[in-house]
Amino acid sequence: MQSATEHREQAARCRRLARSLSGQNEPMITQLLSLAMEHEAKALEVEAAGTKDPPAAPDLAPNIP
């Protein structure tokens, strides 16, 4: 299950792609903006369900000079 943050990141990605297509492919822009709205709605659902974002994974890379 994606976290609210991940859904918002996906929504932002969709909006950026739609902006980059401005004036070129209207059906694709509409589809991307619709997908962005879906991701925003899912982010709200995750928050309403009380699901917290998972903690960030620790950096396990060895500290090699």
Number of domains in the chain: 1
Residue 17 sits in which domain range? 4-48
Structure confidence at residue 3 (pLDDT)? 92
Token pair, residue 6, equals: 């991940």
Q: Has residue 9 been placed in a domain?
A: yes
Q: Has residue 44 been placed in a domain?
A: yes
Q: Has residue 37 been placed in a domain?
A: yes
Answer whether 0.75 is exceeded by the pTM.
no
- Crossing angle of helices 4-20 and 26-48, in 10° steps, is 170
pLDDT-derived band at 56, boundaries 50, 70, 90: low
Structure confidence at residue 1 (pLDDT)? 78
Task: Flag whether pLDDT at 65 surpasses 90.
Answer: no
Convert the pLDDT of each residue in 8-54 to its tens digit.
999 999 999 999 998 898 999 999 999 999 999 999 999 999 865 55
Q: Has residue 61 been placed in a domain?
A: no
